[in-house]
Amino acid sequence: MKVILGLSGGVDSSVALKLLKDQGYDVEAMFMRNWDSATNNDILGNPDIENDVCPQEKDYQDAEKVCEQLGVKLNRIDFIEEYWNTVFSYFLNEYKSGRTPNPDIMCNKYIKFNVFLKHASTLGADYIAMGHYARVKHDKDMSYLLRGVDSNKDQTYFLCQISQEQLRHALFPVGDLTKPEVRKIAKDANLWTAEKKDSTGICFIGERNFHQFLKNYLPSKPGKMVTLDGKVVGEHDGLMYYTIGQRKGLGIGGSKEFESDAWFVCGKDLEKNELIVGQGHDSIYLISNNCFASNVNWISYKPEEGKTYSAKFRYRQPDNDVTLKFIDDDHIQVFYPKGVRAVTPGQAVVIYDGEICLGGAIIDEVYYKDERRKY
């Protein structure tokens, strides 16, 4: 049984590679180059660059070291054009529309479980594998995506848009492990990446100044920062830089006219180019109890209308009880009567039936009862 694993140069995929080899699979690794730093205006620099080696090239060198240690063949493939057309263009268009996208979800859908899978098939792979904290159960006629054992690291949220066919060919070797267990395996095996820190931030941006990065591609349009009743309290740098529920970076404070409570982003008025802000973490305007979502994707089986399931509206968010109403094959309305804070257009609502991740959809409109929020 031949498996090709997506090796990122991080500890999770490194351990996944070791586990597959230990389990007797005919395994190869493949490093994906999805972002061209030199061509795509990546002029910001990175404090973690060592000896003028860009982070992506450093990751490849780390992947090479791990493959040398394990005696595994490493393939390298460029998906730069595919990434730009399917993930980065989506990312920019969502920000242009005032929404907050999740490019990692689209990267899984279009790159890791699509063009990667197709290329791996040309190399004779029966399965592909990734270092995600998720599990898969392959039955005779159906495969099920299950939450990772480590609830703090579970990444099924980011896999909500993959298809049944894609899942049928997927393995997740570290899904039954916790992060400390993964680290221990890496250290015991003296893997090159055992002490490498986890990557953070958006996949192609990494640990850079997000505002500066986005300015390379979208012109900023400053405007007024206003309260829920229309009082001007400051200036924003551009609506695309803010997300619902955000606290940091608003620069409001010190006015005797308002209470001392912290300020949060409560909405956006695209027509007026105004950022709506309010005080208090649990401001009623940040609470919604239903939303409409599109790009519906069910991985294994379709949930039942009216039945209670659990859902996450953001990664690592606690589960919320929800019921669904089907508008058509591509649109649903999601009800969460207990209310949820800062449900945000552009993010995903991901539906679970116990341990099974059923799939999800992309949030379009957010409501409290019958009142649409200016999200």
What residues are labeled active site? 107, 203
Residue 23 to residues 17, 149, 173, Cα–Cα distance (Å) = 10, 19, 10
In 3D space, the residue among 336, 349, 366, 244 whose CA is nearest the CA of residue 295 turns out to be 349
Could you tell me the end-to-end alpha-carbon distance of the chain, in angstroms, rounded to an integer? Answer: 48
Neighbouring C-beta atoms of residue 328, cutoff 10 Å: 8
Residue 217 to residues 8, 54, 86, 209, Cα–Cα distance (Å) = 26, 20, 16, 14
**CB-based contact 154:132 (threshold 8 Å):** no
What type of residue is 197?
K
Token pair listed for 96:
């242009």
**CB-based contact 196:247 (threshold 8 Å):** no
Measured distance CA(336)–CA(321) in Å, rounded: 6
Measured distance CA(355)–CA(359) in Å, rounded: 12
Phi-psi category of 306—alpha, beta or left, where left has phi over 0 and alpha has psi -120 to 50?
Answer: left
